[in-house]
Each structure stands twice: as structure tokens, then as C-alpha cells.
Amino acid sequence: MQQWHEPVAGFEYRTHVLALTAETQAERLTACGVDPQVFGEDVDPAFFIGLAIHAGIDSGISAEGNINMLQRMIQHRPAKLDEPLTVRGEIQCVTSVPRGLRVETDVWFEDASGERVISCPRTSLRPQSDGAAAGGPGAGDRPKPVISDVGELTLLDRYDLTPERVKAYSIEGNSIHYEQEAAERAGFRAPLIGGGMGVHYLTAQMWQNRRPQAFDASIYFRRPIFWDETVQVGVLERADAWHGMGLVKLPLADDYAAVIKVGTELALSSYQFAK
């Protein structure tokens, strides 16, 4: 039986070594509807969001019902398929807010020489009352939007989500991503995709158009994206450079009054192209 711990500042995660195989990457990306060949021999860095969360679970920090609010994803260099990486992490800060606990963690992945390859600092809401939802009143300060006008986005690849697709991607750890009753208990109409699943669509676009050697991205989960919605990747481009990306939620075919809304935003503070 897993022994669970309440999150406290200074709690260190258990160190272990992992390697993402080509077979696993292909299986999980295919479940999302992404062509795994887009990434070549690189690991899609979006995988490290989930791996960082599971590093906490493996160390006794439950993710059940938690809501991802802000995720940084820093690629110091591309991780390679089958490359052994050491996982390290710690809880940096725990703050009480009206809706529960705001937990800030840092998890990173080192290569054999001890150099960071990927870093995944994260802020999440640990609800302590029924119906809590990320970003609502009482969850803490809400960062300014990256995309103030959806009309400024250049819309690119589109993906149709289905319960079967989301279940095929989701793994044990947080049942709001694959169980209707769990989602309803958390205050949602249906299961929602995990934050990392949505980020796969953004990183796939990056590798298709502007494969990076290194980047620093801040990812904001503005609205839940449900397992029966259609999403499309949009980019903010100025002077031939990308400054931000968004995963927009498209209206249902018969909902003519609905407007396009951003589910996930990604702000790029640095971006270095691969040679």
C-alpha cells in the first residue's frame, strides 16, 4: 500500500532513473492523434509533465483531484529516446488559499554527467472542498493572459478528442481524466484531458515548424478541455518569431452562439533553433 504524505515545503522526491523508449512514445502520441515521426529521435518534452507528476506520486504525494494551474517546461537540450535520465525533485512552497492548497514544486531530469536536460517547475491546486476548479476565485493570483485576442492567432493543426482517445492516453493517478463520476465530484461536467496531453499538440507543432534546441515556456491551463471537444493549435507570430501558442476550444457544430476560447496558453520567453 502506498503511504501518502501531506505536501510540505522542503519535501524531496525519491531519486530514480528512467528512459522513454521509442515504442512508448509512439504508443502514447498515437493515442493523442499525433504522428510520432514528427519528433524523430527526440523525446517530446510534453511527456516530462506527466513524468514529473508521477515522480511525486511515487514519492507519496497524491495527485488525485489536483488541478494543474501553471507549468513551466524548460528544455536545456533535446532528450533522446532511450536515454537514461535521473529524476530529482522537491516541493518548494505550500500556501493555503480559500479553495485548498497551492503547491509549488520543481522536478528536473539530469543526464549521465549531471546536467539538466529538462526542468518542469509546476504550480497546482490541491482542492480541499467540493467543486473546486483551478483559476477560479480563491485559487490564488491569476496571471495575465498570453493571448488577449484570439483573432491574432494563426490557426494550424486541429484535433478531435473522444472519450476513447483520452482514456487511451490517460494513466492511473488522477481519475478526473478518465472517470465520469470522479470528474463530476470535482465540479466538471465530464472528464478533462490532462495538462500534459494538451501540451503534446503544442510541442508537435513546434517540432513540425520550428524544431527547438532549447526553450523556456510557461504554460497556463486557463479552462478545462473536456474529452469530447475539438481543439486547434494557434500561434502568436511577430517578426517571423513565435512569442506564444494556444490550444483553442472550438464550438460544437450545433452551437452557433458559442465563441472560440483558449483552453491552454504557452508563453515563450526564449527559443533557440536546432542547427
CATH code assigned at 53:
3.10.129.10
Please name the residue that has the C-alpha cell 507528476.
Answer: 53
CA distance linking residue 225 with residue 191, whole number of Å: 9
Residue 9 lies in a domain: no
7 found inside a domain: no
Is residue 231 within 8 A of residue 161, CB to CB? The reply is yes
Give a yes or no: residue 3 inside a domain.
no
3-class DSSP state for residue 264?
Answer: strand
If one counts every other C-beta atom within 10 angstroms of the C-beta of residue 266, the result is: 28
The tens-digit pLDDT sequence of the chain (275 residues) is 678 999 999 999 999 999 999 999 999 999 999 999 999 999 999 999 989 999 999 999 988 878 878 899 999 999 999 999 999 999 999 999 987 999 999 999 999 999 999 999 999 998 875 544 444 455 556 678 899 899 999 999 999 999 999 999 987 668 999 999 999 998 999 999 988 899 999 999 999 988 999 999 999 999 999 999 999 999 998 777 788 999 999 986 655 556 789 999 999 988 888 76
Q: Is residue 77 included in any domain, yes or no? A: yes
Residue 214 inside a domain? The answer is: yes
Residue 3 is predicted with a pLDDT of 84
Those residues whose C-beta lies under 8 Å from the C-beta of residue 123, and which sit 6 or more positions away, are 69, 70, 71, 102, 103, 104, 140
* C-beta neighbour count of 149 within 10 angstroms: 8
- Give the dihedral sign, CA 240/76/39/201: negative
Q: CA separation (Å) from 38 to 8, 41, 167, 173?
A: 39, 9, 23, 28
> Helices (H) and strands (E) in the chain — how many of each?
5, 11
Structural domains counted in the chain: 1
Domain that holds residue 269: 16-273
Confidence at residue 172, expressed as pLDDT on a 0 to 100 scale: 64
Q: Is residue 250 in a domain?
A: yes
What type of residue sits at position 104?
Answer: E
Is 4 inside any structural domain? no
Q: What is the pTM of this model?
A: 0.87
Separation of alpha carbons 272 and 50, rounded Å:
24
Residue 198 in any domain: the answer is yes
